[in-house]
């Protein structure tokens, strides 16, 4: 479970590139590529500042005009997936 003040950052060994409105992330040691949709790409770019979980939720609510409960559900699912793939750390 993600905590409010927990800082989240991208793994430094994952090259990535913006392709139209999506981001493609490479994980060379696993020979894998991950494609993020527009929302996931927004989150990935925000992670360059190592935001806290609470700040990420607040920014997401502001950017997409969604309720905090909806933002938490969506962001948590995405972060769990990214962490499981070894693309982020906290």
pLDDT of residue 76: 94
Q: pLDDT (tens digit, 9 = 90+) per residue, 5-38?
A: 889 999 888 899 998 889 999 988 778 899 999 8
Largest CA distance in the chain: 38
What is the arithmetic mean of pLDDT over 59-80? 94
pTM beyond cutoff 0.85: yes
What is the arithmetic mean of pLDDT over 30-49? 92
End-to-end C-alpha distance for the chain, whole angstroms:
11
Residues β-bridged to residue 69? none
């Amino acid at each position: 479970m993600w905590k409010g003040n927990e800082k989240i950052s991208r793994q430094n060994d994952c090259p990535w590139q913006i392709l139209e409105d999506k981001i493609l992330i490479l994980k060379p040691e696993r020979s894998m590529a991950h494609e993020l949709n527009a929302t996931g790409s927004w989150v990935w770019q925000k992670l360059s500042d190592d935001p806290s979980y609470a700040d990420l939720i607040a920014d997401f609510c502001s950017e997409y005009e969604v309720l905090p409960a909806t933002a938490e559900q969506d962001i948590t699912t995405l972060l769990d997936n990214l962490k499981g793939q070894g693309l982020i750390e906290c």
